Amino acid sequence: MSEKLRLYGILFVLLTIGFNLVNALAIKSTEGFLEENAYKIALMHYMIYKQDASHRGDEHFQVGADTHRYRIYEFGSQSGLDSSVIIGVNKEFFQERLKALVYRLFMIEFFLIASIVLLFQLMFERYTRKIREHQEWQRMLILGLNHRLGNFLSVHKLNTAILRSFLGDDERIIRMERSLEKATADFSIFVNLLKTDSKPKPKLLNIKPYLEATINLFEEELQGKRLRLSLKDLSVRMEEADLKDLLYNLVGNAIKHSSRNISIKTLKNRGRVILAIVNDISSTKSSGMGLGLMLVQNILKRYRYEMKLKVKRRYSVFVSFKL
């Protein structure tokens, strides 16, 4: 709705500027034409006066008129012997014709503006309808794929649970479970991207256990790397699924793209909870978060939270949660 109002505002400004320019040019040109026409009529009255000295003009043109009330044209004889003759033009002569022009001009512009707005409305509605249909098709496609993949992962989770009942806490089973959890988190990004217009229903969640659970998913990637943690029991207002997706993408990106050192810290500052994640970027890893960054920005935008991202020698991200 706000985008539609913005487009209508742009159209209104363009039409206003355009028609104001047209009006200014039309009035300027008409004034010149009226001036020329008035001169020709005044000359005609002068010629009549030369033939009939009793001629005093008409309601708009007066021979020998008062210079304060009329626009004056002064004519003299070709021989230069006779005195000049003043022909005055009533100012209403110009005003009436300009008013008539402006009235006709505004009527034409009114119908032109109405036609342009109607055409714009029809084109805009057609365009937005196609966009909505395409977005709905994409939404259904993503939901369908996610549903199929969800069923696939659920079957494998059930299979690993059965294996665990026979093999116990076998390292291979634990790795399979972690892989399935990571795959589930990876697929959830598609569903979360569909929540752009939905209003979140946040609740207070302690960020520390969610961070610890997220870090545990990347145990294999952390091998040979140094992880420094400074986590406090601090609560943020978010939906659980959104917090999990947020942390999975931020923490996962920091770990995957690090060379050796990763630092994750939570703190409270000026009524806000701050999540700080810093790593040393590996030269063998591509920088950037791609679709993950889009997801993070989408989540934070819905909650009106802030994020600062710096990627130079180090990858640094700071997320500020309002309390």
- Please check whether residues 223 and 318 belong to one and the same domain: yes
**Per-range mean pLDDT, top range of 82-86, 233-237, 269-273:** 233-237
- Please check whether residues 145 and 201 belong to one and the same domain: no
What is the domain count for the chain? Answer: 3
| 8-state DSSP, 57 | B
Q: Is residue 65 part of a domain?
A: yes
pLDDT band at 209 (very low <50, low <70, confident <90, very high): very high
- Please check whether residues 305 and 262 belong to one and the same domain: yes
Q: What is the pLDDT of residues 2-19, one digit of tens each?
A: 677 787 788 888 888 888
Q: Is residue 74 part of a domain?
A: yes
Taking the C-alpha atoms of residue 88 and residue 81, their distance in angstroms, rounded to an integer, is 22
- Please check whether residues 165 and 234 belong to one and the same domain: no
Asked whether the predicted pLDDT for residue 160 surpasses 60, the reply is: yes
pLDDT band at 196 (very low <50, low <70, confident <90, very high): low
**Strand runs (DSSP E) across 207-305, as ranges?**
226-230, 235-238, 258-269, 272-281
Taking the C-alpha atoms of residue 223 and residue 204, their distance in angstroms, rounded to an integer, is 33
Percent of the chain, pLDDT > 70? 88
- Please check whether residues 177 and 143 belong to one and the same domain: yes
- Please check whether residues 110 and 173 belong to one and the same domain: no
| Residue where a domain terminates, one of 127, 153, 177 | 127
Q: Is residue 132 part of a domain?
A: no
Average pLDDT over residues 144-162: 75
Q: Which of 157-166, 200-209, 239-248 has the lowest mean pLDDT?
A: 157-166
Taking the C-alpha atoms of residue 308 and residue 274, their distance in angstroms, rounded to an integer, is 11
C-alpha 213: how far from its chain's center?
A: 37
pLDDT band at 284 (very low <50, low <70, confident <90, very high): very low
List, edge to edge, every strand of the sheet that includes 70-75: 61-63, 85-90, 70-75
Q: Is residue 204 part of a domain?
A: yes
Average pLDDT over residues 77-82: 53
Q: What is the pLDDT of residue 65?
A: 66
- Please check whether residues 223 and 312 belong to one and the same domain: yes
Vertex 151: Cα angle to 145 and 156 (nearest 5): 125
pTM: 0.56
Q: Which of 35-44, 269-278, 283-292 has the lowest mean pLDDT?
A: 283-292
Taking the C-alpha atoms of residue 244 and residue 147, their distance in angstroms, rounded to an integer, is 19
Average pLDDT over residues 60-78: 74
Q: Is residue 215 part of a domain?
A: yes
Q: Which residues pair with 274 in a beta bridge?
A: 267, 320
Q: Is residue 107 part of a domain?
A: yes
Q: Which two tokens stand for residue 81?
A: 């012997």
- Please check whether residues 110 and 150 belong to one and the same domain: no
Vertex 232: Cα angle to 227 and 234 (nearest 5): 130
Q: Is residue 44 part of a domain?
A: yes
Q: Is residue 315 part of a domain?
A: yes
What CATH number should be reported for the domain holding residue 260?
3.30.565.10
Asked whether the predicted pLDDT for residue 182 surpasses 90, the reply is: no
- Please check whether residues 181 and 231 belong to one and the same domain: no
Average pLDDT over residues 120-126: 85
The answer to whether the CB of 261 falls within 8 A of the CB of 280 is yes
The answer to whether the CB of 75 falls within 8 A of the CB of 46 is yes
- Please check whether residues 66 and 182 belong to one and the same domain: no
Q: Which residue range forms the structural domain that includes residue 216? A: 197-322
- Please check whether residues 318 and 232 belong to one and the same domain: yes
**Per-range mean pLDDT, top range of 141-145, 170-174, 216-220, 314-318:** 216-220
Q: What is the pLDDT of residues 226-266, one digit of tens each?
A: 999 999 999 999 988 889 889 988 898 888 888 888 999 99
Q: What is the pLDDT of residue 265?
A: 94
- Please check whether residues 208 and 304 belong to one and the same domain: yes
Average per-residue pLDDT in the chain? Answer: 81
Per-residue b or e along 291-307, where b marks 16 or more CB atoms closer than 10 Å to that residue's CB: ebbebbebbbebbebeb
